[in-house]
Amino acid sequence: MTPEMAVETIRQALMVAFWLSAPLLVVGFAVGVVVSLVQVVTSMQDAAFSTIPRLAAFLAAFLLSLPWMLKKAMAYATVLFGDLGRYAR
């Protein structure tokens, strides 16, 4: 395996990790902004009020995007393991 192949393999792994985490990060950011705005408007600074909606949104986003995430991860693993002979050289 040449250094260029190793760098490309690591780059692909990082890109797959980025795309798998992106939907959850976007949902967490959006819900965090909305909850913070609601807290500022209502002057309510309860920790449970900021945590519970964020966790519920993460769970919903995870359950909705799970089939897509599994398909993407399995496609990457199939390509990676399919080229094991190329990496052994």
Transcribe 5-34 into DSSP letters. Answer: HHHHHHHHHHHHHHHHHHHHHHHHHHHHHH
Residue 86 to residues 9, 53, 72, Cα–Cα distance (Å) = 12, 47, 22
- In tens, the pLDDT along 8-19 reads 989 999 999 999
pTM greater than the 0.85 cutoff: no
- In tens, the pLDDT along 30-89 reads 999 999 999 889 888 887 888 898 999 999 999 999 999 999 999 999 998 888 887 776
**Contact (Cβ atoms closer than 8 angstroms) between residue 69 and residue 25:** no
Distance, in Å, from the CA atom of 20 to the CA atom of 61, rounded to the nearest integer, reads 12
The label of the residue with tokens 């807290």 reads 39
